[in-house]
Amino acid sequence: MLTILYAGAPKMWPAYQPALTTALAEAGLPARLVLPDEVAADAVDYIVYAPTGPVQDFTPFTRARAVLSLWAGVERVVGNPTLSQPLCRMVDDGLERGMIEWVTGHVLRAHLGMDRHIVNPDRIWDQTAPPLARERGVTVLGLGALGAACATTLAGLGFQVTGWSRTPKSLPRIHCESGPDGLLRALRQAEILVTILPNTPETTNLLNAETLALLPRGATILNPGRGTLIDDDALLAALDSGQVGQATLDVFRIEPLPADHPYWAHPRVTVTPHIAAETRPASAARVIAENIRRDRAGEPLLHLVDRTRGY
């Protein structure tokens, strides 16, 4: 009988307990799910983890074979000096589908110019038609599982999609760029820019005054990745000058976004409350169970974090 510790957000326990119980049973894994105050640390075989949970010191968990994160982002744990166990981040179809739907919806909103029709107090009859998708350049920064899925979906709608990643990638129907020079080329094509990158020292303030100036004038920025990717002051200045025409932001350095933050009041900024890719208990539980099954069978863990890269 395996002992699996739930160390996620306490408020989510009522949702994760039945989801994990079902997924573990379906995977044929005899296991008991426990909370931190119900078991000795050295009796735990696997830790189901979230940064908002009660476990911050992994030293006592001498028997634990892996820490299985419920979050796609691992920047809040990957540098923890007490973490000696393998760490796996969350990649599941619920996260992927949520990200695809958010990105596709807001790309189409920007592409079709929906805002000018939705908010039209002067009742202006403007029959200016947008270009077709095949005439619109969209750049996706980040070609991991989520970024690649979004880029592929947008290409399927006919957009001219450029994807950028730190290391070379190849995707059907996507013009892939990589490295520092590739980033400059990718930004110059980005009438609509989507950022789906992890939070690492290399990506912090990737969008700054210099890189924002490379975008086609009036470009739209969508950020469902990480708040640290954008220099907030530089983005606000670019919005005020018209270099950036509109920004839809789902992630921020401080969350919830403070009520007095300039983004709330800016007429060309849309704030969404970190909902683009929410972990859903049913699908996440199946990923957790599959990783435990793989480990018990001697197979490689899925989505294992490379700590030298930070994700």
Show the domains of the chain with their CATH numbers.
Answer: 2-92+279-296 (3.40.50.720), 95-271 (3.40.50.720)
Predicted local distance difference test score (pLDDT) of residue 257 = 98
Assigned token pair, 225: 């990745």
Predicted local distance difference test score (pLDDT) of residue 274 = 95
Catalytic residue among 63, 65, 185, 274: 274
Catalytic residue among 106, 166, 226, 286: 226
Predicted local distance difference test score (pLDDT) of residue 278 = 85
Is residue 274 annotated as part of the catalytic site, yes or no? yes
Dist CA 289 CA 139 (whole Å) = 35
Predicted local distance difference test score (pLDDT) of residue 308 = 84
Dist CA 28 CA 130 (whole Å) = 53
The terminus-to-terminus CA distance of the chain in angstroms comes to 31
pLDDT, one tens digit for every residue, the chain (311 residues): 999 999 999 999 999 999 999 999 999 999 999 999 999 999 999 999 999 999 999 999 999 999 999 999 899 999 999 999 999 999 998 899 999 999 999 999 999 999 999 999 999 999 999 999 999 999 999 999 999 999 999 999 999 999 999 999 999 999 999 999 999 999 999 999 999 999 999 999 999 999 999 999 999 999 999 999 999 999 999 999 999 999 999 999 999 999 999 999 999 999 999 999 888 999 999 999 999 999 999 999 999 999 888 88
Predicted local distance difference test score (pLDDT) of residue 252 = 98
Predicted local distance difference test score (pLDDT) of residue 179 = 97
Dist CA 311 CA 309 (whole Å) = 6
HEC string for 36-95: HHHCCHHHCCEEEECCCCCCCCCCCCCCCCEEEECCCCCCCCCCCCCCCCCEECCCCHHH
Dist CA 121 CA 119 (whole Å) = 6
Assigned token pair, 262: 């300039």
Give the contacts of 131 (CB within 8 A, at least 6 positions apart). Answer: none
Predicted local distance difference test score (pLDDT) of residue 26 = 98
Is residue 293 annotated as part of the catalytic site, yes or no? no
Assigned token pair, 31: 């296991």
